[in-house]
Structure 1
Amino acid sequence: METTIPAPSNGQKTGTPVELDSRRMADLLKRIAEAAAQTDDDKLFPTDAFGWLAEAGLLGITLADDKTGKQPLGTDQLLQLLKRIGAANLSVGRIYEGHINALNLIDLYASPDQKREWFADVKKHKRLFSVWNTQAGDGVKIQAVGDGRYRLEGAKTFCSGAGWIQRPLITGELVGGSQKGWQMCIIPTERVKDVQQDDRFWQPLGMRSSVSYRIDFTGIEIEQADLLGQPDDYYRQPYFSGGAIRFAAVQLGGAEALFDATRTYLASMKRTDDVFQRTRLAEMTWLIESGNQWLTAAGTKTDAWQASGGQADKIVTYANMTRTAIEEICLRVMPLAERSVGARGLMRPLPFERIHRDLTFYLRQPAPDATLLDVGRYVTDNQLDAYELWR
C-alpha cells in the first residue's frame, strides 16, 4: 500500500523548513500551481507536489525542534501557510491539512515512544499522514483479539490521499476488551496486508486529485502500540472543533486563487480599465482581506486562550465563527469572479474553471447549521457585553 515520496532532485538537504516569505517558498508554490491541471483527475495523486513539500521541509514544519523543544510556528503563521498552499492547489492543501491534523493529534495524545517513532516517519522517511474519520453504515470497529492485538472491520469514506498516505490515522469503535469508545489508531501501511480501495466511490465535482476513496480495513491487524490516545480522545474539545480554522484557511486560499486568476484574465483581455470590473475586483479584495483578518485573529486568540487554560468553549466558538465567515466570503467571491470573466473565462485550459469546481466542493464541510447554532448558544448563554466577549 505504501507509496514513496520522491527524493529531492537537486541535491538539497531535506528536512530544513523554508522561510515562509522567501523566494524559495514563492517558487515552490508557483510549481505546485502550475502542476495542478496535470493531476485534475479522479485517479491521479499530486505526487510531485508532495515531493516538493517534503524537499522543502514542510511535512515536518509543525514539529518541535529535537534539541530545544521549541515550536517553529504560531497558529496564525500555520494558517497563512495552509492558505498559500490551498491557493496553489486546493487538493494539495486539503491533503496537507490532513497531514498537519494527524501530527497535531499525535502531539496531543501519543506517548513519548510513539512520538519518537511517528515524528521520525516524517522527519527521516518523509511519510505522509492523514485523518480519516468519515464513514457510512459499515463503519470501522476495532476488535480486541488478545495479546495486545486488534483486528479491524469496516470501511471509511472520503479517505483523502487514499493509498498514497503511508500513515493514515483512522477512528473506530473499540470493542471486545476492557475499554470501549471511539478509538484512534495509526496504520503502519507497509507492515499490514493491502487494504481494499474503492475508487468508484470518488466521482466528485471538484477536488479530484485529493483521491478521497472509500477504503475497507476489514481483516487488518494492528498492535497496542498502533493505538493513539484513549477512547473518545478524538472528540475532546477544543481540539476537535477548533481545528476548523485550518480547513477554513485552505478555503480562503481558494478564494485568493480565484481573485488572482480573475485579475490575470481581465488584464489579458485589456478589461482592467472597465469601471464595473474594477468595482468587482475591489469587492473581492476587501472580502478576501477580511478573511485574512479572521485567520490572524483566530490564530493569535487560539494560542493565547490555550496558554491561559479553561477557554475551550471560547476557542470552539471563535473557530465556528471563523469557518462560517470564511465560507460566506468564498461564496460571495465566487459569483463576483464568474461575472467578471464571463463564459469565455470559464473554459479550459484557463485555471478558473478548475479552481471554481474545487472550491465549490471543498466548501461543503460537515454540519454548517449546527456550527452556527453553537455560536448562538455561546453568545446567549454568556452575559459579557460585545466588547468583552472575545478579549
Structure 2
Amino acid sequence: MSPWQETARAFSTAVESGRVDLPLPGSGATLERLSALADLAGEDLSLARLGEGHADAIAILAELGGPSPQPGSRWGVWAANPPGPNVTAEPCGGGTWVLRGTKQYCSGARICTHALVTAAAADGQRLFAVRVAELQPRDGTWPATGMAGSDTLDVGFPWVVADPVGPPDCYTERPGFSHGGVGVAACWYGGARGVARALLGAATKRDVGPHALAHLGAVDIGLRTAWAALATAAREIDADPEDLRGDGPLRALRVRALTEAVATDVLARTGRALGAAPLGHDEAHSRAVADLTVYLRQHHAERDLARLGELIAECGAGW
C-alpha cells in the first residue's frame, strides 16, 4: 500500500469517527480546536494536513453560508496560487459557473470527495465548491518523500461545473482567513512536538551527554513558547471572532512566524543531539522530519516577515 493510500484509510476513519469534527474558530472552544490539530500532527503530519484542510473547509462553509457538507464527505481547501498554471472561472447562467485549468498543491487530490477551490474570475478571485470525482488528478506531480502521504497533486479542471461560495475575494478578506492560519501553525507545533519526542525518549532512557541535554532544554523552551502563543491566540479569537478590532492578520503572522522558527529549531537541535541514528533506523521519526520540513514551507519565510514588519510599522508594535 502506498503512503497516500495509507493516509486515505486513516483520513476516512477520522472523518467517519468524528475526530475532525472540531469546534469552529471563535466558537469559544478555539483552544480545543488547536489542541486537536496539534495532536493529529504529532501522530502523522500527512493525516493532519488533510484533517486541517477538512476542518478549515467546514469552517469556511459555515462562515460564508456555503452548502452543508454531507455526512462522511471529505473536504479539502485548494487555494494555492504559485507561479504557473491556475484555474479560471466563467459564469454559465442560472447561478452556476464552470472552472477550467490546473490547480497546483491540491492535498487529498485522490482522497477528498469535495474541495473548496479558488479561481480567477472577471470580478476578482472567487471561491467554489466542487466534486473531486469530476476532476483529473495528475499522477507523478508530487514525487517528493516529504508529505508523500498527503496526496498533494496538480489537478486538472476540464470545464467543471462548480457552485460559488461567497462574493468575490471573500476567501482572503473574511475574518476566518486569519483564524485558519493559526490552525496551520498548530499543526506545525504538533509536528515539531512529534519530532522532539525522539530526543526526549533518548534522554529518559540513557545518558545522552550534556550537549544533547542542552538541546533538550532549548527544545522545551521553544515548544512551550509556541504553545503559549497559540493558546493566547485562541483566547483572542474567541474574544473577537468577527475580528472587529482588525487584529487577525497581525496575530496570524506573529503566531505563524514564531511557530515556524521554533519548529525549524526543533528539527535542527534534535538532529544535532541524536545524529544520524534515528534518521536511519526509525522510520516514523525520519518520515516526521521529512514531512515537517516540507509542511513548514507553507510559511513564506522572509516574505511573511516583511508583511509582518509592514503591519507593525502601520499599526504599532504594542511592546
TM-score of the pair, normalised by structure 1: 0.75
**Structure 1: distance between partners of 2:179 and 2:301:** 14
Pick aligned residue for 2:86 from 133, 139, 157: 139
Cα 1:349/1:333, change in 2 over 3 Å: closer
Pick aligned residue for 1:380 from 308, 313, 318: 313
Does 1:60 find its partner at 2:7? no
**Paired residues of 1:44 and 1:209 also in contact (CA < 8 A):** yes
The gaps in structure 2 that reach 5 residues or longer are none
* Within-5 A mapping of 1:42-191: 43-62=4-23, 71=27, 74-110=29-65, 114=67, 117-118=68-69, 121=70, 125-135=71-81, 136-175=83-122, 180-189=123-132
**Paired residues of 2:118 and 2:128 also in contact (CA < 8 A):** yes
Does 1:275 find its partner at 2:245? no
**Structure 2: distance between partners of 1:310 and 1:149:** 32
Letter in 1 for 2:239: A
**Structure 2: distance between partners of 1:60 and 1:336:** 34
**Paired residues of 2:78 and 2:103 also in contact (CA < 8 A):** yes
**Paired residues of 2:182 and 2:255 also in contact (CA < 8 A):** yes
Output the aligned Cα RMSD. 2.3
Structure 1 stretches of 4+ with a deviation exceeding 4 A read none
In the alignment, what sits opposite 1:364? 297
**Structure 1: distance between partners of 2:201 and 2:270:** 12
> What is the deviation of 1:383?
5.0
**Paired residues of 1:132 and 1:170 also in contact (CA < 8 A):** yes
Does 1:204 find its partner at 2:144? yes
> What is the deviation of 1:196?
1.6
**Structure 1: distance between partners of 2:306 and 2:177:** 17
> What is the deviation of 1:295?
0.6
Letter in 2 for 1:99: H
Give CA deviations for 1:30-69 in whole Å, capped at 9, x if unaligned.
xxxxxxxx76x3x5351232233234312323369xxxxx
**Paired residues of 2:111 and 2:151 also in contact (CA < 8 A):** no
**Paired residues of 1:79 and 1:246 also in contact (CA < 8 A):** yes
In the alignment, what sits opposite 2:164? 227
**Structure 1: distance between partners of 2:164 and 2:116:** 9
**Structure 2: distance between partners of 1:86 and 1:355:** 9
**Structure 2: distance between partners of 1:335 and 1:139:** 35
**Structure 1: distance between partners of 2:58 and 2:309:** 31
**Structure 1: distance between partners of 2:299 and 2:11:** 26
In the alignment, what sits opposite 1:256? 193
Give CA deviations for 1:276-329 in whole Å, capped at 9, x if unaligned.
33222121111111111011011111221336x5222x2210110110001110
**Paired residues of 2:126 and 2:170 also in contact (CA < 8 A):** yes
Per mean C-alpha deviation after superposition, the further-off stretch among 288-297 and 129-138 is 129-138
The gaps in structure 1 that reach 5 residues or longer are 1-37, 65-69, 387-391
Counterpart of 1:172 in 2: which secondary structure?
strand
**Structure 2: distance between partners of 1:282 and 1:91:** 28
**Structure 2: distance between partners of 1:351 and 1:221:** 41
Give CA deviations for 1:348-375 in whole Å, capped at 9, x if unaligned.
4442211111111111125332322232
Per mean C-alpha deviation after superposition, the further-off stretch among 44-53 and 125-134 is 44-53
Cα 1:375/1:88, change in 2 over 3 Å: same
**Structure 2: distance between partners of 1:341 and 1:83:** 24
**Structure 2: distance between partners of 1:49 and 1:218:** 29
Pick aligned residue for 2:240 from 281, 284, 305: 305
Q: How many residues align?
A: 318
Per mean C-alpha deviation after superposition, the further-off stretch among 362-371 and 377-386 is 377-386
**Paired residues of 2:97 and 2:164 also in contact (CA < 8 A):** no
**Structure 2: distance between partners of 1:139 and 1:130:** 17
**Paired residues of 2:78 and 2:116 also in contact (CA < 8 A):** yes
* Within-5 A mapping of 1:325-364: 325-364=258-297
Give CA deviations for 1:104-151 in whole Å, capped at 9, x if unaligned.
11111115xx2xx32xx1xxx211111101244331111222233322
Ranked by relative contact order (alpha carbons within 8 Å, sequence separation 6 or more), the top structure is: 2
> What is the deviation of 1:384?
7.2
**Structure 2: distance between partners of 1:248 and 1:172:** 25
Q: Which has the larger radius of gyration?
A: 1
**Paired residues of 1:262 and 1:337 also in contact (CA < 8 A):** yes
Letter in 1 for 2:19: L
**Structure 1: distance between partners of 2:33 and 2:302:** 27
> What is the deviation of 1:345?
1.9
> What is the deviation of 1:74?
1.6
**Paired residues of 1:237 and 1:316 also in contact (CA < 8 A):** no
**Paired residues of 1:305 and 1:315 also in contact (CA < 8 A):** no
* Within-5 A mapping of 1:25-40: none
